[in-house]
Chains A and B, each alone.
Chain A
Amino acid sequence: MKSIGKSIWRKEAWDKVTAIAKYTDDLPATGVLSARLLTSTHAHAKIKKIDVSKALAVPGVKSVLTGKDCPVLFGPLLQDRPALARDVVRYAGEPVALVVAQGEAAAEKAVRLIEVEYEPLPFVLTPSQALAEGAVLVHGRPDGYRKTVTDVYPEAGTNIASRYKIRKGNVEEAFARCEAIVHERFSLPPSDHLAMEVRAARAEISPEGRVLITTSSQAPYSVRKQISEAFMIPAGQIQVRVPFVGGGFGGKVPVFLEILAFLASRSVGGKSVRLSLPREQDMASAPCRIGLEADIKLGADREGIIRAAQMTFRLDCGAYTDNSPYMAKAVAVDCTSPYHIENLNCDSLCVYTNHTYATSFRSFAHESYTFCVERAIDMLARRCGIDPLEMRLKNAIRPGSLTPTRVMCTGSLTGNLTECLKKVKALSKWEGGKAVKIKEDTVRAKGVACLWKTPNPPTDAASGALITFNPDGSVNLNTGAVEMGSGGQTNLAQILAEKLGMDPGMVHVVMDVDTRTAPEYWKTAASLTEYMVGRAVMRAADDALGQLRQNGAQALGCPPEEIEVANGRVFSKKNPEKFIAFKDIVQGYKTDAGLSIGEPVLGRGGFMLKGLSKLDPEAGKGKTGPSWTLGAQVVEVEASLKTFTYRIISASTVMDVGKVINPELMRSVIAGGMSMGVSLASREAFVYDQKGIPQTPNLRTYKLLHIGQEPDYRVDFVETPEEGSPYGVRSYTEHGIIGIPAALANALSAAFGREILSLPLTPERIWRAVKEDTDDSL
């Protein structure tokens, strides 16, 4: 292979180190009006009155919008969310009013002059509270909202936005035969994506009604669709542009700011309006990561084979559903982690609370449920007296196993976990993982966790690719994939270069997405770019190759089957010395005599997912994603038994990526995911006060990992090709995070000799847990 397997630099690398790469809010601001939001100061309250008169009087203010200006409700699955709160606010930070003004300063001055009178209501801040008898309802009639899909099931008179069930085998019988059983409750607080670029959007409407939206979004085609449907504007009248995106991690999938920017522009006669959230609002008002509570019961036989599992997951989706119901579904689909468990009951609930609403976050809730399940497996291993890594090897899913939703595993479909575990054992120098004393009051310990994930796209998700050629024989690749750092554009360039037999340096990738010119791609999410857009690229390349062969056959005077395309040349297999360079044939061919031959080459390819199904509501049978990616991870810590502080020494991941396209790029993206997992598990959390007000919506008090605390990251690969995917590559970009919180908690549980059941793993929380244990035993 010439291109696949090479560590080429990112295609956009020089643009990014010279600031030529432009992000949404980098576009010129001259003549553009600014919008600012006023947000709720209550977790749950009736809006009695909003007085905007003082705000309107501020010089430069053009308009002030409130909930009454937009009666439409939004949501990708369940339409439960107003653009601006109407009559009631359901979380602290919820948008209440929007000011449009000349200049941000005038807009902000006006925002501070809006007077809102609230009547506080009772509120619920955890799924348990929300599900308790007599809990206040976040939404009066969740079942009354319009559904845009059939498989979301809000329950009347409750805070349950949806529920998914898995029923497999006979759990009760199986537990009765188990030798060892663990039953624990786990919890993880909500946290944030914290892409370094805050969300930003611009909108303008031309006099004849054409809408132009420029936005920092992972889902430009969803923006077009939702704006079109909500405001009854033909989709062709809407153009959405996405320049470089400064990190998404799932947080820029929802259509949120674009709606507000559109409303803002509409309120000022279509003038261009920019809305860029201050970091505090980006954290408290824009969607965040789910919180999770889980009850996990696992049972194993004498040999350590897991025979039964009973699981209940309660996802805290906050005040609005966005795509959280599908996260509840995704948790159910993969709930066992990559282990074969014959008898399984799982209930996965999506629960409303008065938190900031949640959305997809890197790995679509897998990092959260994996923490619970992989912790429980460690506890079960301890109870069985088995090395936790051996326990995982014994139960590893393998060809012939059934997944929770009863999909039959094959190497191509799921990959090779056993190989990943064996490799990570060596990579991490596992040696049992038990705590080893290295000096007075200081131990080292390791923890292991496995990961797997199948995506949950709509069953008809589609992608496309267009290829055009330049006079120098180089090629332009245009797809609907957003460049947000996950490296998809570079991988696609390598896939295309390999297929066309040319140097990847000769592939130019269009980095921006414009819904007018780029073929539609569902959304840049679920790590599906290499698979879905990659398949479209392969087809577009085949299309172009066919045309090149036609041109070549005519120019060289031989049948098209005899034509070969490689090294930027077209030639006959029979006589490779006689060739035509790409540059002379991609726009058709001209003989020395001036005769024109063939046609200009334009490659096009499209791809739509096939063979996926919804889950049946009773037993949860079905296939929701095209394939799985799995892997194994180990974290090593050095912990002080005296101060309960710790240092993460190393973190290892071995992932079955199917095929390594770009070793360094893949390594770095996986390591980045691991780093996010370390940060999430060790320090990140939204902290709410007793009134439900977020206490840490800024980068000073919300902790993120800085340089200097990073462990030694070790990444290695297993390559079990996925049939039908370009060169066998699997989804891999988000997966690095999945097992890290669990592996870290397993390591710390071993180090401190105390089972850790919740995140984040701050020294104070560990100290408190150990202290309470000690106090109890006294």
Chain B
Amino acid sequence: MIPCDVVYYRPGTLMEAYEAYRLLQIEGKKPLYYAGGSEIITMSRAGSIRPSAIVDIKRIPECMLLSANDEGLHIGSACTLNQIKESRLFPLLGSSCGRIADHTNQCRITLGGNLCGTIIYRETSLPLLLSDARVSLFGSQGMRTVPFQSVFHGRMRLKPSEVVVQIHVPGWALKAPFFHVKHTTNEKIDYPLVSAAALWKDGNMRIAFSGLCSYPFRSSKIEAVLNDWSMPVSARVDKAAELLPEEPYSDVEGSGEYRLFVLKNMLHALLEDYTNGKI
């Protein structure tokens, strides 16, 4: 039961959605773009957010697109995690999607919602940070398409009233060797202690993490160390663990110290698997 009164908008076009949202903002309302809704519903029930209007983007054709062509893969922001996983078009992203929440919720949670939500893990961002993905946003200037990395810094940095429409992933990334693992406290259905995604381009490993710090990140410094084959595995692992962008995250799921321990074991396994040709 959500106690607050909400106005519900279901636009059929991007322009309708944007206009409705913009007008609501001008009126001083607190609108939210709404896709899968799981986070908005639970937080509204708990009283931690009180949106006065929601703009449901699930019937906007551009947001529902899921297709691959010569340029690569195009994923509408309102595609569910389960659709992405079942499509098998981008195995690394599919693997990430398959470990967020649980299966039933994966049929609800959308790519856009996972990226734009307030829960800190945003695990779908990891494959996108690694794959030179681009993102289409609709706002005051109409549609703009920019590198994903230019608008995602721990979370999406959008312009006022802007809505995420699509993600574009270049073709090479869809077939590239990859690695994905998510470690939790000890229950499979849980937030990550450490979730890592790696993708290889031209023999170089790219890697991004969630759960390790208070936001998801990709680090060129860590990548440089891990790709330095002149150093033994354990030295690379230890070095990489010293290069986090901030102190490791600590909460009831696990202490920062323990997350580092998990990270090191995980990097060990990753590098060994790679060395042994298992990836």
Enumerate chain A interface residues (CB-CB to B < 8 A).
Answer: 104-106, 108-109, 112, 280, 642-643, 645, 682-683, 687, 695-696, 701, 703-706, 708-709, 762-764, 767-768
Q: Which of B1-41 contact A (CB under 8 A)?
A: 1-4
Known: A642-B265, A767-B261. A703 touches B47 (CB 8 A): no
Contact status B186-A643, CB under 8 Å: no
B258 partner, pick from A112, A280, A701, A767, beta carbons under 8 A: A767
A108, A642, A683: the one within 8 Å of B185 (CB) = A683
Alpha-carbon gap, A696 to B251, bound state (A): 11
Give Cα distance in the complex from A706 to B185, angstroms.
14
Is B188 within 8 A of A708, CB to CB? yes
B71 part of interface (Cβ distance < 8 Å): no
- Min distance, Cβ A685 to any Cβ of chain B, angstroms: 9
Whole-angstrom CA separation of A405 from B270 in the bound complex: 58
In whole angstroms, how far apart are the Cα atoms of A687 and B254 in the complex?
12
Which residues of chain A have C-beta atoms less than 8 A from B258's C-beta?
Answer: 764, 767-768
Given A104, A106, A682, A687, which contacts B186 in the complex, CB threshold below 8 Å?
Answer: A682
In the bound complex, what is the Cα–Cα distance between A683 and B258 (angstroms)?
16
Q: How far is the CB of A99 from chain B (nearest CB, A)?
A: 11
Contacts of B189 in A (CB 8 A): 706
Q: Which residues of B contact A762 (CB under 8 A)?
A: 185-186
- Judging by beta carbons under 8 Å apart, are A105 and B252 in contact? no
Q: Which residues of chain B from 86 to 126 have any CB-CB distance to chain A below 8 Å in the complex?
A: none
Q: Are B187 and A683 in contact (CB under 8 A)?
A: yes
Q: Which residue of B lies closest to A640 (CB)?
A: B265
Known contacts A108-B1, A767-B258, A767-B261, A709 near B185 by CB under 8 Å: no
Q: CB of B62 within 8 A of chain A?
A: no
Q: Does chain A have a CB within 8 A of B190?
A: yes
Q: How far is the CB of B142 from chain A (nearest CB, A)?
A: 39
The answer to whether B186 and A645 touch across the interface, beta carbons within 8 angstroms, is: yes
How distant is the Cα of A683 from the Cα of B186 in the complex, in angstroms?
7
- Of chain A, the residue at the smallest CB distance from B266 is A643
Complex contact B187–A703 (CB within 8 A): yes
A12 to B254, CA, bound (A): 43
Q: In the complex, given contacts A104-B1, A106-B3, A109-B4, what are 11 additional A-B residue pairs having Cβ atoms less than 8 angstroms apart?
A: A643-B265, A682-B186, A683-B185, A683-B187, A703-B186, A709-B188, A763-B185, A764-B258, A767-B258, A767-B261, A768-B258
- Residue of B4, B187, B254, B262 with most partner-chain A CB within 10 A: B187
* A705–B186 alpha-carbon span in the complex (Å): 9
Q: Residues of B contacting A705 with CB < 8 Å?
A: 187
Q: CA separation between A679 and B181, bound complex, in Å?
A: 24
- In Å, the complex CA distance between A706 and B190 comes to 11
Chain B residues in 8 Å Cβ range of A109: 3-4
CA distance A764 to B261 in the complex (A): 9
Partner of A105, one of B1, B261, B262, B265: B1
Contacts of B47 in A (CB 8 A): 112
Q: Which residues of chain B are within 8 angstroms of A108 by Cβ–Cβ distance?
A: 1, 3
- Asked if B255 CB lies within 8 Å of chain A CBs, one says yes
Give the residues in chain A near B265, CB-CB below 8 Å: 642-643
What are 20 A-B pairs with beta-carbon distances under 8 A?
A: A105-B2, A106-B3, A112-B3, A280-B46, A643-B262, A682-B186, A695-B252, A703-B186, A703-B187, A703-B190, A704-B187, A706-B187, A706-B188, A706-B189, A709-B187, A709-B188, A764-B185, A764-B254, A764-B255, A767-B258
Residue B253, interface by CB 8 Å: yes
Q: Are B252 and A687 in contact (CB under 8 A)?
A: yes
Which of B1, B186, B255 has its CB near the most chain A CB atoms (within 10 A)? B186
Interchain CB contact (< 8 A) of B253 among A682, A701, A706, A768: A701
Cβ of A45 to closest chain B Cβ, rounded Å: 21
Contacts of B187 in A (CB 8 A): 683, 703-706, 709
Could you tell me the distance between the alpha carbons of A701 and B251 in the complex, rounded to whole angstroms?
11
| Complex-state Cα separation, A764 to B187, whole angstroms | 13
